[in-house]
Amino acid sequence: MLIVPEREIADLMTRQAAFDAVEQVFAAMASGDAYNFPVVREAIGHEDALYGFKGGFDRAGLTLGLKAGGYWPNNLEKRGLINHQSTVFLFDPDTGKPSAMVGGNLLTALRTAAASSVSIKHLARSDAKVIGMIGAGHQAAFQLRAALEQRAFEKVIGWNYHPEMLPNIEKVANEAGVPFQAVELDEMTEADVIISITSAFAPSLMANHVSAGAHIACMGTDTKGKQEVEAALLARASVFTDEVAQSVSIGEAQHAVAEGLIQESDVAQLGAVINGTDPGRISDNQITLFDGTGVGLQDLAVAASVVDLAVRKGVAIEVNF
């Protein structure tokens, strides 16, 4: 079995490699060549932590495995560790033997950012100039770096529940040479693309905060009860997702479906747009929304890619198992 420790990931996995892996696995899901297993996600009753498993099998790439991990909200304050902790395990699909264990923290951040970036590539207007960020935590910086590579953005606007955290994304904008402005939520109407990346259980972005023609990537809702945007916004938008079953059960679409504003059949796979079987955006006035729930196959795809890189660079640790 090969081990790729967390400490090696930053020197191995690039944003482009993560983007390519996620785009390919979305396409494989839509074509039926890959599928995810049911998600297990539980509050464990200790340290206020949420812990779970996401797995799947990609027949095309012969990638089988799971990610184990979750959210420990007290980590940063108590221990100086990031709150999201995860490890990816890969198995030989021919024998079932474990083939690799890969540090999943940075990979999770990169694949989550890659997912919204893929949605921007395929759904946002080509002339998008202003990108809005809702959320300014650890993951928001990854989101913005990846998103800025998809369009010639001329301005970044941002809002956060805790405004003192906005310098986290202002720094990313400055590094990219793009001006940044802190705004109120009702000023998000200026944005052509909006990324929401919070862990909220109540909506912040409302339907009237979004202008015609905008693309929204909702990246924080991955658990029953979580909600980042008003359900009415999904009724205004053409809704796309990584996996429909997750979108309507633990993703942003769960609320709009529960309120009867949309049906499961109204939610399309982003992979179908990538494959060309769904037209995606069909007009400049259309609002598109990507519900990024986070699927196990994303983690497996980036983990398999990083294992190959680690072997080539001679940094994978081989152990008998």
Nearest CA among 26, 10, 17, 14 for reference residue 292:
26
Joined tokens for residue 74? 């007290």
**Distance, CA of 251 to CA of 92 (rounded, Å):** 30
From the list 228, 221, 268, the residue with the least C-alpha distance to 249 is 221
**Do residues 125 and 216 make contact, with C-beta atoms less than 8 angstroms apart?**
no
Q: How do 215-218 and 193-196 pair as beta strands?
A: parallel
Q: How many Cβ atoms from other residues are within 10 Å of residue 40's Cβ?
A: 12
SS3 of 182, please? strand
Write out the E strands in 72-200: 84-91, 98-103, 130-134, 155-159, 180-182, 193-196
Taking the C-alpha atoms of residue 205 and residue 194, their distance in angstroms, rounded to an integer, is 10
Contact 259, 284 (CB under 8 A): no
Q: How far apart are CA 218 and CA 266, in angstroms?
A: 16
222 with 231: CB under 8 angstroms?
A: no
Q: Which residues are catalytic?
A: 67
Residue 25: phi and psi, rounded to 5, are -75, -35
Burial of residue 115 (number of CB atoms within 10 Å: 0-12, 13-18, 19+): buried
- How many C-beta atoms lie closer than 10 Å to residue 247's C-beta? 28
C-alpha angle with apex 191: 244 to 202, nearest 5 degrees?
A: 50
